[in-house]
Structure 1
Amino acid sequence: MRLQTSTVKTAKPLWAGNTNMLLKAVRNIKKANTSLN
């Protein structure tokens, strides 16, 4: 049980960081597409 709770606590911030990185990447791709067009 302790291992599970600790992994969940560490997984949540990792998920938040990954989603933020994905959003930034999508924004950069959209900017690149608009600049190319």
Structure 2
Amino acid sequence: MSTFVGGQGFFNIYDTGMLGFLSELQNFNYSLKSKIN
């Protein structure tokens, strides 16, 4: 979830490309599910 936190972290989306963004999104979803369960 590091990509969504912080000012410069947002630009990491463009640095890593779409693949890095999708993996980051999966990590975000996983952390949400773990908090719910």
State the TM-score bracket (shorter-chain normalisation): 0.5 to 0.7
Number of equivalenced pairs: 23
Q: Which residues of structure 1 form unaligned runs of 5+?
A: 1-13
Between Structure 1 and Structure 2, the one with more helix by share is: 1
Structure possessing the higher relative contact order (Cα contacts under 8 Å, 6 or more residues apart): 2
CA RMSD of aligned residues (A): 1.6
**TM-score after normalising by structure 1:** 0.56
Q: Which residues of structure 2 form unaligned runs of 5+?
A: 1-13
Runs of 4 or more, structure 1, over 3 Å off, are none
Identity %: 13
**TM-score after normalising by structure 2:** 0.56
